[in-house]
Structure 1
Amino acid sequence: MRLAILILAAGQSSRMRGADKMQEPVGGAPLLAVMAQRALASGLPVFVTVPALSHPRARLLPEAVDAVPVPDAQEGMAASIRAGIGALPDDVDGAMILPADLPDLTAHDLADMAQRYRGGILRATAQDGTPGHPVIFPRALFAELQNVTGDEGARSVITAHRDLLELIALPASHATTDLDTPEAWAEWRSGRG
């Protein structure tokens, strides 16, 4: 089964009050570059949605990553999902989708998810069971993913196919640490000692 990783990074960082969370430093490098490298470490092909190929975020990506422009990115996460799924090669059997702003997700987490995928929908949770990301979808649901709208991402597809859903707990809050504000970033950094 051939999977691809789809990182969603075309959002507007609207709650960052002028800063771009994709460029927040994580371990000395911009978040988006770090997440792309972690995804590449899985050995899977990596696709990253960006607002445009000329956007500064596109320059943060390693050469091995396929950048996917999202001209209607202002719509929200659904626009990134539609564009990203549409860009995947025909020989991909499943897509591991994750927002780029999950700095606790490790390369090991992504590889673990890929190795445990057997079909259906595989969704990561925090250690306490709180649903998070990434979520792996089979090709059979790609058409539905290309019809999602708004800023709720693929929630409607997961809900419609609950019978296909399997959960996998990742360590601590790796699947749910989503940093959208300067305060959240400051708190996260303070907790890292």
Structure 2
Amino acid sequence: MATAGLLLAAGAGRRFGMPKALLSYRGQLLVEHAAAILTAAGCGPVVVVLGARAEQVRAYARLPGVVVNDDWATGMGSSLRAGLSALTSSAAEATVVTLVDMPGLTPDAVRRVARDATADSLAAATYQDGRRGHPVLLGRDHWPGVVAAATGDRGARDYLQAQGDGVRLVPCADVADGTDVDLPEQAARFRLTPG
């Protein structure tokens, strides 16, 4: 069954001081690294949602399918809606959603969350102390509900919380680091630098 990859990379990185998509990581832009993780995990198609400084990101990064979210400033919810809309014409039964600012994510974690994906699947990675994080798996049957609930910076969080035990929790701390890099101080840990 086809599982798509959806990378949310549209934010301006206000707390960070620049769009995190434009950070350099291991010789490439962080957005390229994150998209490559989804591809290496076997996701297809892979869609990258850009927004802030989208033209600059596109000029410097080699990316698979790109969607530009003109409403990126309203928050992550609009990027999730744009990405899911772009995937509706695909044959994917589900999509793995992740964020650009997770340099410690691995293909193993993505594969683990995507395992046994069906159109009615919901799953979320967990890390230390059971903390939920990305990636999350959204089966196609759930996309309309996620789109309706995705507002501001909440993304799919409210929708997933409303599903309670219907969300399969997938321990990933042994194969990935679920840290979202939100502040410049965190960037040093991963050796992220302005691109």
Category of TM-score, reference length = shorter chain: 0.7 to 0.9
TM-score (norm 1): 0.88
Asked if the contact 1:127–1:171 (Cα under 8 Å) also holds between the matched residues in 2, the reply is yes
Number of the residue aligned with 2:75: 76
Query: How big is each residue's C-alpha offset from its partner over 1:129-148, in whole Å with a ceiling of 9 and x where there is no partner?
Result: 21110000111111112222
Query: How big is each residue's C-alpha offset from its partner over 1:97-124, in whole Å with a ceiling of 9 and x where there is no partner?
Result: 1111110001222123223435421100
One-letter identity of the residue aligned with 1:72: D
Asked if the contact 1:132–1:175 (Cα under 8 Å) also holds between the matched residues in 2, the reply is no
Where does the alignment leave 5 or more consecutive residues of structure 1 unmatched? none
C-alpha distance in structure 1 between counterparts of 2:111 and 2:29, whole Å = 22
Number of the residue aligned with 1:144: 145
Asked if the contact 2:12–2:52 (Cα under 8 Å) also holds between the matched residues in 1, the reply is no
Instruction: Report the more deviating stretch, 51-60 or 23-32.
Output: 51-60
C-alpha distance in structure 1 between counterparts of 2:50 and 2:109, whole Å = 23
Aligned residues: 188
Give the CA deviation at 1:176.
2.4
One-letter identity of the residue aligned with 1:184: Q
C-alpha distance in structure 1 between counterparts of 2:38 and 2:129, whole Å = 24
Number of the residue aligned with 1:22: 21
Where does the alignment leave 5 or more consecutive residues of structure 2 unmatched? none
CA 1:137/1:70 → structure 2, altered by over 3 Å: closer, same or farther?
A: same
One-letter identity of the residue aligned with 2:74: E
Instruction: Say which of 174, 177, 181 aligns to 2:179.
Output: 177
Query: What RMSD, in angstroms, separates the aligned Cα atoms of the two structures?
Result: 2.2
One-letter identity of the residue aligned with 2:101: D
Asked if the contact 2:16–2:183 (Cα under 8 Å) also holds between the matched residues in 1, the reply is yes
CA 1:26/1:140 → structure 2, altered by over 3 Å: closer, same or farther?
A: same
Report the secondary structure of 1:159's partner residue: helix
Give the CA deviation at 1:174.
2.9
Aligned pairs for 1:36-75 within 5 A? 36-44=35-43, 45-51=45-51, 55-63=55-63, 65-75=64-74
Query: How big is each residue's C-alpha offset from its partner over 1:130-185, in whole Å with a ceiling of 9 and x where there is no partner?
Result: 11100001111111122221111111110121131110111348352100111111
Report the secondary structure of 1:67's partner residue: strand
Give the CA deviation at 1:20.
2.7
Question: Percent identity over the alignment?
Answer: 31
Confirm whether residue 129 of structure 1 aligns to residue 130 of structure 2. yes
Give the CA deviation at 1:128.
3.2
One-letter identity of the residue aligned with 2:140: R
Give the CA deviation at 1:54.
5.2
Number of the residue aligned with 1:157: 159
TM-score (norm 2): 0.87
